[in-house]
Structure 1
Amino acid sequence: MPLRTAKPCRSKLCHQTTREKHGYCEEHADQAKSWTRGRAGRGRGGRPWRRLREQVMQRDRYLCQPCKRARLVTPATEVDHVIPEAEGGPTVASNLESTCHPCHQVKTQREALRARERDAGGPGGG
């Protein structure tokens, strides 16, 4: 198999070339280890979030909790914060509930409106 074409090292101000797939010369190869692709393991979407989400869905029996409070039976498709993260709500099971997509959209729109009103009412707002 032919060798890769030599390319400049990805490290700033390094003038060496490399044929490594990660793009760093031997001197800077340690920088390649911290390079990751995508969102896996960072924030929501990683394994801890999926486990917590499944735990909440099981606790709520896969039913939308806002619909249940309105005496409707609707399957849940999402898990949402009761107190939004933007308002200081923690990502713990006691602050999460299962929701259907329409309920989640309505709640998200209400939260966005509240945030816009809060921002507009601050110093320098209209």
Structure 2
Amino acid sequence: MRQRVAKPCRDKLCRRTTREKHGYCEEHADQARSWSRGRAGRGRGGRPWRRLREQVLIRDRYLCQPCGRANDATPASQVDHVIPEAEGGPTEASNLEAICGPCHDLKTQREALRARKK
């Protein structure tokens, strides 16, 4: 039986290589077990999030809200927090809005810069 090609460990700061299917070296193998459980216990995901996401998309008519504020009608493909969770924003419909991919990327970059400056 052929051996797998050695690849870098999936842990961000690890420089070791591994041949394991899960992609983690022996030291970080415990992280692979947490991934096998899916999205359980990691906040978003599962039926409640999908229902809330769908409610927000319907409420916003599947249109990107930041683009709409700039008088442009762009289809939305994602739902994002107006006030980020990292800054204390709740995961409820009043704090969520439909957003397109490019707007989401820009907003994420701005939030990352803000977080680095703190």
Match of 1:49 in 2: 49
**Counterpart mapping for 1:78-89 below 5 A:** 78-89=78-89
Q: Aligned with 2:37: secondary structure?
A: coil
Structure with the greater alpha carbon radius of gyration: 1
Match of 1:77 in 2: 77
How far has the Cα of 1:37 moved from its partner? 2.1
Match of 1:121 in 2: none
Number of residues paired by the alignment? 83
Q: How far apart, in 2, do the equivalents of 1:97 and 1:40 lie?
A: 23
Structure 1 runs (4+) deviating above 3 angstroms are: none
Deviations 1:38-64 (A, max 9, x none): 114642111100000000000000000
How far has the Cα of 1:90 moved from its partner? 0.2
Task: Tell me the amino acid that sits aligned with residue 87 of structure 1.
Answer: E
Q: Aligned with 1:63: secondary structure?
A: coil
Deviations 1:78-116 (A, max 9, x none): 000000000000000000000000000000000000000
Matched, 1:90 2:101: no
Preserved CA contact (<8 Å) 1:40 1:46: yes
Name structure 1 gaps, 5 residues minimum. Answer: 1-35, 119-126
Q: How far apart, in 2, do the equivalents of 1:115 and 1:41 lie?
A: 24
Name structure 2 gaps, 5 residues minimum. Answer: 1-35
Preserved CA contact (<8 Å) 1:68 1:74: yes
Q: Aligned with 1:72: secondary structure?
A: coil
Q: Aligned with 1:97: secondary structure?
A: strand
Q: How far apart, in 1, do the equivalents of 2:117 and 2:40 lie?
A: 34
Deviations 1:10-55 (A, max 9, x none): xxxxxxxxxxxxxxxxxxxxxxxxxx72114642111100000000
Q: Alignment identity in percent? A: 80
Preserved CA contact (<8 Å) 1:52 1:93: yes
What is the Cα-based RMSD across aligned positions, in Å? Answer: 1.3
Task: Tell me the amino acid that sits aligned with residue 104 of structure 1.
Answer: H
| TM-score between both structures, scaled by the size of structure 2 | 0.67
